[in-house]
Structure 1
Amino acid sequence: MKPERAIRGWLDHLTVERGVSDNTLSSYGRDMRRYQAYLEQRGITDVAQVREEDVASFLAHLRTSAPGEGDAPGRTALSASSAARTLIAVRGLHRFLLLEGVTQVDPAREVRPPTVGSRLPKAIHIDEVERLLEAASVGDTPESLRDRALLEVLYATGARVSEAVGLDLDDLPGPDVPEEEAVVRLLGKGGKERLVPLGSFAREAIGAYVVRARPLLAAKGSGGPALFLNQRGRRLSRQSAWAVIQTAAGRAGLDQHLSPHTLRHSFATHLLDGGADVRVVQELLGHASVTTTQIYTQVTVQRLREVFAESHPRAR
Structure 2
Amino acid sequence: MIPLEDYVLFRDQGLLGGGYANGITHRRNPMRDAAFAELLVTTGVRLEEGASLLIGELPTTNARVFHGCRSTMIDLPARITKGRKPRSVPFPRRVASNFIDAYIREERSQLVDRWRRAGGVRTMRQPLIGTLAGGQRVLIKGERRPRSLATLRIDERRNLLLLPGSGAPLESAQPAALWLAQDGQALTPAAWQSIFRRTSKKLSEDMGWDLHVSPHTLRHTFAVYWLTHLVKAEVMRLDDRSVPDRTEEIYMKVVSDPLRRVQRWLGHASVLTTEKYLTYLDEAFEIVDQAAEALDSRLMGFF
Structure 2's unaligned 5+ residue stretches are: 19-25, 121-173, 232-257, 289-303
Which residue in the other structure is 1:241 paired with? 192
Paired residues of 1:247 and 1:256 also in contact (CA < 8 A)? no
Contact 1:158 1:265 survives alignment (8 Å): yes
Aligned length: 186
From the two aligned structures, give the one with the greater strand fraction.
Answer: 2
Cα drift, residue 275 of structure 1 = 2.1
- Is 1:288 the equivalent of 2:166? no
> Amino acid of the residue matched to residue 304 of structure 1?
A
TM-score by length of 1: 0.53
Q: Name the SS for the 1:294 alignment partner.
A: helix
The TM-score with structure 2 as length reference comes to 0.55
The Cα offsets for residues 209-264 of structure 1, whole Å up to 9 and x where unpaired, read as 01111111122335621010000001111121112222333337544542110000
Q: Which residue of 2 aligns with 1:184?
A: 74
Secondary structure at the aligned position of 2:87 is classed as: strand
Letter in 2 for 1:176: A
Query: What is the SS of the residue equivalent to 2:264?
Result: helix
Point out where structure 1 has 5 or more consecutive residues left out of the alignment: 1-122, 309-316
SS in 1 for 2:88: strand
Instruction: Tell me the equivalent position of 1:298.
Output: 279
**Where does residue 131 of structure 1 map in the other structure?**
9
Residue 290 of structure 1: CA displacement?
Answer: 1.1
Paired residues for 1:43-192 under 5 Å? 123-135=1-13, 136-138=15-17, 143-174=29-60, 175-179=62-66, 180=69, 182-186=72-76, 187-192=80-85
CA contact 2:278–2:284 (8 Å) conserved in 1: no
Quick one: distance in 1 between partners of 2:188 and 2:228? 32
2:194 is paired with a residue whose SS is helix
Give the secondary-structure state (helix, strand or coil) at the position aligned to 1:185. Answer: strand
| Residue aligned with 1:291, SS | helix
AA partner of residue 232 (structure 1): D
After superposition, the C-alpha distances for 1:102-136 in whole angstroms (9 at most, x for unaligned) are xxxxxxxxxxxxxxxxxxxxx10110111111121
For residues 286-311 of structure 1, give each alpha carbon's deviation from its aligned partner in whole angstroms, at most 9, with x where no partner exists. 111111111111222x6434999xxx
Report the counterpart of residue 259 of structure 2 in structure 1.
278
Tell me by how many angstroms 1:191 deviates. Answer: 2.6
Contact 1:151–1:245 (Cα < 8 Å) also in 2: no
Structure 1 CA distance, aligned partners of 2:225 and 2:9? 16
Identity of aligned residues (%): 31
SS of 2:196's equivalent in the other structure is helix
Q: Is the contact made by 1:142 and 1:214 (CA closer than 8 Å) also made in structure 2?
A: no
Map of 2:252 onto structure 1: none
Q: Distance in 1 between matches of 2:261 and 2:104?
A: 30
Aligned-residue Cα RMSD (Å) equals 2.7
Q: Which residue of 2 aligns with 1:230?
A: 181
Higher RCO, 1 or 2 (CA under 8 Å, sep at least 6)? 2
C-alpha spacing 1:188/1:305, structure 2 compared with 1 (3 Å): same
1:265 is matched with which residue?
Answer: 220
Q: Which residue of 2 aligns with 1:105?
A: none
Distance 2:262 2:53 in 1: 21
Counterpart Cα distance in 1 of 2:223 and 2:208: 23
The Cα offsets for residues 184-214 of structure 1, whole Å up to 9 and x where unpaired, read as: 3333113322221211332120010011111
Aligned to 1:130, what secondary structure does the other structure show? helix
In 1, Cα distance between equivalents of 2:7 and 2:262: 19
- Please state how far the C-alpha of 1:273 moved relative to its aligned partner: 1.3
Distance 2:208 2:222 in 1: 20
1:202 aligns with 2:95: yes
Letter in 2 for 1:218: V
Aligned 8 A contact 2:43 2:90 in 1 = yes
Q: Distance in 2 between matches of 1:185 and 1:236?
A: 21
C-alpha offsets along residues 32-78 of structure 1, whole Å, 9 cap, x if unaligned?
A: xxxxxxxxxxxxxxxxxxxxxxxxxxxxxxxxxxxxxxxxxxxxxxx
